[in-house]
């Protein structure tokens, strides 16, 4: 029982401006999709189905989107209220 009380207190002390679990899940899936798209674009460029110009634009776009979602999750946690 003591462990359950400690776990619930620990969960309540960290809160973001938005629901941190939802933001973390959204950031994880968005970043994962960006990595997958970048890998597919790289494979297509290696096998010369697309040009290198498209490859670098795709990888750069995925890096910006993935980095933005990670930054959003970090800022959400930074500016969230702390419940104590």
Q: Using the 8-state DSSP alphabet, how is residue 12 labeled?
A: H
Per-residue pLDDT tens digits for 41-69: 999 888 888 888 888 999 999 999 999 99
What is the reported pLDDT for 3? 60
What is the reported pLDDT for 12? 57
Residues in the chain: 84
Q: Using the 8-state DSSP alphabet, how is residue 2 labeled?
A: H
pLDDT band at 84 (very low <50, low <70, confident <90, very high): low
What is the reported pLDDT for 68? 93
pTM greater than 0.75 (yes/no): no
The residues spanned by each domain of the chain are 2-78
Closest by Cα among 61, 70, 69 to 40: 61
What is the reported pLDDT for 81? 65
Per-residue pLDDT tens digits for 19-39: 888 988 999 999 999 999 999
């Amino acid at each position: 029982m003591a462990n359950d009380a400690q776990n619930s207190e620990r969960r309540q002390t960290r809160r973001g401006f938005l629901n941190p679990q939802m933001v973390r899940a959204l950031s994880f899936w968005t970043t994962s999709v960006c990595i997958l798209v970048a890998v597919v674009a790289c494979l297509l460029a290696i096998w010369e189905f697309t040009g290198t110009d498209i490859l670098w634009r795709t990888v750069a776009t995925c890096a910006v989107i993935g980095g933005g979602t990670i930054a959003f999750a970090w800022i959400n946690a930074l500016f969230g209220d702390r419940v104590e």
